[in-house]
Structure 1
Amino acid sequence: MEQPLASGLLLQHLQARSQTDWLIGVDQVKLTDLAQHLFQELTQLIHQGTTPKIFLAERSPERFLAGFLAACAAQCPVFLCNPCWVQAEWQQVLDLVTPDLIWGDCDSLALPSNTLAPSVLEDFAQVPPKCGGLGRPGSDHSGWIMIPTGGSSGRIRFAIHTWSTLLASVRGCQQYFEVQKINSYCVLPIYHVSGLMQFLRSFVSDGKLVVQPFKQLEAGDYSSIDLTQFFISLVPTQLQRLLERQESSHWLAQFHTVLLGGAPAWNDLLEAARRDRIRLAPTYGMTETASQIATLHPKDFLAGHQNSGRVLPHGNVSIHSESGELLLPGQVGHIRIQAESLTLGYYPQLFEQPQFQPDDLGYLDQQGYLHIIGRSSHKIITGGENVFPAEVEAAIRATNLVTDVCVIGLPNAHWGQVVTALYVPACQTTSTNLSDRLQARLSKFKQPKYWISVEHLPRNLQGKVNYEQAQAIALKWFQNRSTA
């Protein structure tokens, strides 16, 4: 299955796989039947002259995957949507694109009251006898797979992928880990790239797939399978919760590989995983690259390496100065990515060049390992000095006086910006205690001037901080402080 699958072959492969026991936690008979049914309905619409744009917002894994495979097989543009979006987020999406079909339980979706979808499929088993409004010409976006990404700002965009770009990521993973079949244990949302790619790796490589809500796993409900040939993908907050219990830590240590991504991991967490002999593989990737583009191999992690690993075979990462000059190993600069798995653009615009420059700063060392030092847009310039939040956050975490922390810059007339820490205190932590502990750890200009204690930080399901919300919390705190 080295080449992108044509529509018929995709569903043939699904039918063939349904004869084997490859899915755990998903009704594979229901999945196969629904996919075939939806494909037939889409084919009829296409024969009528329409290629419908589909919003896929299903909570059920069977229904979500059936809709995804049917849309891909029919070459219909499909937008993967988070069924937990609030009304404001749905409005962002609807301002961007008007769907022809919404697949999901619309009664449970927080859609704006003025949402107009000519045909809404509230139940996959029921197709409206008339598809009013679908007679207009379809888009020319056949085969596009739109995967949502909010980045650190929380503003929703859709990265444009195709079956080919997603399969390139699968092949890169197979080659890097030198495995043919990839068995995945998925506890991440399937509408997100990290969950979707776990399904695709198992589906196209003839591997097995376990789908389980993370809350069940955290409660100690483990699937009774041989984990030694399985991959599992986690975000740092999930790993931290599992390592807090000896039983779940021992369970994690059985995996072939524990992929870790979604957000930067802190040193104490990595050290804890290393002590428990977790075969961790910290990754660097994003929705735009169809998940990981660089990964630290578990054997390197257990040997003490602290970086994002080597670039996978299907990609290329280079480091450039602000003026675009290619930098030498060891020199810090802007990351630039080229890859077979790279997004074509952000819906509805395509990239002019087949390359992508994220907001990340880093360097490649002499051995080809990628090191990420922070995000360019999060860099704080205070009194002419550059401060990278990741360094300050690591120093604060090392005090063991916080359970979570986020460092930002607040506007200041005198300094330009001032370093500000939002933190979740451990026990009776005070800002005075934290400041005292940092005296020998950080230069004075890097130490937070303002400390804001919060009950929790605004993080999404992948563990990423929403920096717009963090800024809003800090500004409100500052305003209340100024008027007190």
Structure 2
Amino acid sequence: MYPNWILQRAYLTPLRNGLTYNGQTWTFQKLNDLSLKRARQLTALGIKQGDRIAIMGPSKPTLVITMYACMHLQCEMVMLNRRLSQAEIAYQLEDSEAAAVLIADEDVEKLPLHTTCHLFSAIEKSTESAIDITKEWSLNQTTSIMYTSGTTGFPKGVRQTVGNHQASATASVLNIGLQADDAWLCAVPLFHISGFSILVRSLLYGNKVHLYDQFDVEAISQNIIDGDVTHMSVVAVTLERILHTLEQKNAQASSKFKMMLAGGGPVPVDYLKRAHALNLAVAQTYGMTETSSQTATLANEDAMQKIGSAGKPLFFNQIRIAEPNANGEGEICIRGPHVTPGYIGRFAEKEVTIDGWLHTGDIGYMDEEGYLFVIDRRADLIISGGENIYPAEIENVLLTHPAVKEAGVCGIDDDEWGQVPIAFVVLKEQVQVEQIQAFCQKKLAKYKIPKEIIVTDELPRNGANKLLRRKLIN
């Protein structure tokens, strides 16, 4: 048994600031008091200890307090993605068999029609019922359930236990270190593993979370310039926006800013070089919903020597490459205490691991020194005339063109070659498509050059801003 994280943190550092949002600050004691009150209000509404509860709302303090209340009640929290369609949410509610839905007032129209729910505003006004809050938790207790983005087939509801989250948070701090005044800027959604893991680390480490409910690149860049925060989690597209803003301001990251963790897929090498020039320490990391965030992270001291690598496995974790080809490339497999014990709903009977290893569906290789390089998703692989084409490789080339802001590549059927790549680009300045094609011809093998380049206003992304290649041609 392990201590209730919220009670323990409030006991250890009650007066330390735990959350900042829009100019307001809450201590860990205040967060505990508010979440205990909310737990009593939820109990009065009929929610019982251990219930499976669906939650949806923007990343604001009310959502944090509601999550902490559910954790006090040892509920299994189904994190609903605010960017999904009503049909997609309906699937998750049906599949999870959630006993209740807790939702922010501004999100209620996102729910399927006739869904019974408790509005945050109504919960805050409700009466309270006495409840005995458990002071200890089991490592096997499911804390959160997050649905995979569904790159193939139906989305799967992934269980994440107390033990999974603790192992992930502990391995992370063993890697990046910890000081009492560390502050983690959170501009990634709390319904996603990258966002929720920041809250978990805050409770376990006792560091402050500087919370944003949307990605405000001007304000965030200023936080980094001023040294208001020490850490941040990003994906490639948000990293590029920060880099662009710093470059436009002719500014560098403060010496107080320690580390930016970049996940959600391979980060273009050009971005890493630009960050280095801005004194912005970026550590590429690799993880997934099934691993409660990070599995491997590149140490900052290796950033330029091993550029493009996701680093080595964190302390408790193991990685191997299954069925490698002649170049050592194969499926990335993971083992460790951070790996989910299983799924729920229609995939409840599905085995998560094979002989103890999670098969990720990602393609990569490990170099002779044990550094992991993630190439691409197996599901996104393009096979053209028998040649394997990784979309990320083409995207990386496109992103080095000075006029290209974002790029996405997928395969389309071709009578002659089976499949050929096509590209979608968002521009930051006007350029002829023919010029981009000529640029690609200088940097890519002929079979990798996109058959067509389409200019668009935006690329399809999920709630965590990860590119959804399967939706590029929909």
Normalised-by-shorter TM-score class: 0.7 to 0.9
Query: Residues 423 and 12 from structure 1, CA distance in 2 versus in 1: closer, same or farther, beyond 3 angstroms?
Result: closer
In structure 2, C-alpha distance between the alignment counterparts of 1:248 and 1:461, rounded to whole Å: 31
How many angstroms does 1:338 deviate by? 0.9
Matches within 5 A, 1:160-179: 160-179=159-178
> Which residue number in structure 2 is paired with residue 260 of structure 1?
262
Query: Residues 338 and 249 from structure 1, CA distance in 2 versus in 1: closer, same or farther, beyond 3 angstroms?
Result: farther
How many angstroms does 1:83 deviate by? 3.6
How many angstroms does 1:336 deviate by? 0.4
> Which residue number in structure 1 is paired with residue 136 of structure 2?
none
Contact 1:421–1:448 under 8 Å retained in 2: yes
In structure 1, C-alpha distance between the alignment counterparts of 2:448 and 2:411, rounded to whole Å: 11
Q: Which amino acid aligns with 1:236?
A: A
| Deviation sequence 1:184-219 (CA, Å, 0-9, x none) | 222222221111111211211122222234544524
Q: Which amino acid aligns with 1:100?
A: A
In structure 2, C-alpha distance between the alignment counterparts of 1:95 and 1:43, rounded to whole Å: 23
| Bigger radius of gyration among the two | 1
In structure 2, C-alpha distance between the alignment counterparts of 1:465 and 1:339, rounded to whole Å: 27
| Deviation sequence 1:20-67 (CA, Å, 0-9, x none) | 233322544663333112333566789x97743211113353222222
Q: Could you tell me the TM-score, scaled by structure 1's length? A: 0.83
Q: Which amino acid aligns with 1:413?
A: D
Matches within 5 A, 1:451-466: 451-466=453-468
In structure 2, C-alpha distance between the alignment counterparts of 1:296 and 1:156, rounded to whole Å: 29
Q: Which amino acid aligns with 1:211?
A: L
Contact 1:293–1:312 under 8 Å retained in 2: yes
Determine helix, strand or coil for the equivalent of 2:125. coil
Determine helix, strand or coil for the equivalent of 1:292. strand
Determine helix, strand or coil for the equivalent of 1:201. helix
Contact 1:35–1:69 under 8 Å retained in 2: yes
| Deviation sequence 1:172-195 (CA, Å, 0-9, x none) | 011122436554222222221111
> Which residue number in structure 2 is paired with residue 415 of structure 1?
417
Determine helix, strand or coil for the equivalent of 1:305. coil
> Which residue number in structure 1 is paired with residue 3 of structure 2?
5
Q: Which amino acid aligns with 1:11?
A: L
How many angstroms does 1:221 deviate by? 7.5
How many angstroms does 1:363 deviate by? 0.9
Matches within 5 A, 1:222-233: 222-223=222-223, 227=227, 230-233=230-233
1:14 maps onto 2:14 in alignment: no
Contact 1:231–1:256 under 8 Å retained in 2: yes
Worse-superposed segment, 456-465 or 190-199? 456-465
In structure 1, C-alpha distance between the alignment counterparts of 2:437 and 2:59, rounded to whole Å: 47
> Which residue number in structure 2 is paired with residue 440 of structure 1?
442
Contact 1:253–1:276 under 8 Å retained in 2: no
> Which residue number in structure 2 is paired with residue 136 of structure 1?
none
How many angstroms does 1:229 deviate by? 7.8
> Which residue number in structure 2 is paired with residue 383 of structure 1?
385
Determine helix, strand or coil for the equivalent of 1:471. coil
Query: Residues 278 and 95 from structure 1, CA distance in 2 versus in 1: closer, same or farther, beyond 3 angstroms?
Result: same
The percent of aligned pairs where both chains have the same amino acid is: 27
1:113 maps onto 2:110 in alignment: no
In structure 2, C-alpha distance between the alignment counterparts of 1:283 and 1:447, rounded to whole Å: 28
Q: Which amino acid aligns with 2:195?
A: G
User: Going by fraction, where is strand more abundant, 1 or 2?
Assistant: 2
Determine helix, strand or coil for the equivalent of 2:421. strand
In structure 2, C-alpha distance between the alignment counterparts of 1:351 and 1:252, rounded to whole Å: 47
Contact 2:146–2:158 under 8 Å retained in 1: yes
How many angstroms does 1:304 deviate by? 5.6
How many angstroms does 1:426 deviate by? 4.6
| Deviation sequence 1:305-333 (CA, Å, 0-9, x none) | 33111110121110011xxxxx5996111
In structure 2, C-alpha distance between the alignment counterparts of 1:129 and 1:280, rounded to whole Å: 46
Root-mean-square deviation (CA), in Å? 3.1
Determine helix, strand or coil for the equivalent of 2:64. helix
In structure 2, C-alpha distance between the alignment counterparts of 1:318 and 1:68, rounded to whole Å: 35
In structure 2, C-alpha distance between the alignment counterparts of 1:350 and 1:175, rounded to whole Å: 34
Contact 2:37–2:128 under 8 Å retained in 1: no
> Which residue number in structure 2 is paired with residue 33 of structure 1?
33
1:339 maps onto 2:336 in alignment: yes
Question: Which of 1 and 2 has higher RCO (CA within 8 Å, sep 6+)?
Answer: 2
Contact 2:421–2:451 under 8 Å retained in 1: yes
How many angstroms does 1:361 deviate by? 0.8
Contact 1:164–1:341 under 8 Å retained in 2: yes
Determine helix, strand or coil for the equivalent of 1:422. strand
| Deviation sequence 1:460-480 (CA, Å, 0-9, x none) | 3433112232131xxxxxxxx
> Which residue number in structure 2 is paired with residue 198 of structure 1?
198
How many angstroms does 1:128 deviate by? 6.9
Determine helix, strand or coil for the equivalent of 1:124. helix
1:405 maps onto 2:410 in alignment: no
Q: Which amino acid aligns with 1:174?
A: V
In structure 2, C-alpha distance between the alignment counterparts of 1:451 and 1:261, rounded to whole Å: 26
Q: Which amino acid aligns with 1:14?
A: A
In structure 2, C-alpha distance between the alignment counterparts of 1:243 and 1:287, rounded to whole Å: 27
In structure 2, C-alpha distance between the alignment counterparts of 1:339 and 1:230, rounded to whole Å: 28
> Which residue number in structure 2 is paired with residue 482 of structure 1?
none
> Which residue number in structure 2 is paired with residue 359 of structure 1?
361
Q: Which amino acid aligns with 1:365?
A: D
Unaligned runs of at least 5 residues, structure 1: 131-140, 322-326, 473-484
| Deviation sequence 1:323-352 (CA, Å, 0-9, x none) | xxxx59961111101121111222231653
Matches within 5 A, 1:261-340: 261-303=263-305, 305-321=307-323, 331-340=328-337
Contact 2:460–2:472 under 8 Å retained in 1: yes
Worse-superposed segment, 107-116 or 346-355? 346-355
Count of equivalent residues: 451
> Which residue number in structure 2 is paired with residue 71 of structure 1?
70
Determine helix, strand or coil for the equivalent of 2:340. coil
Determine helix, strand or coil for the equivalent of 1:250. coil
Q: Could you tell me the TM-score, scaled by structure 2's length? A: 0.85
Q: Which amino acid aligns with 2:63?
A: F
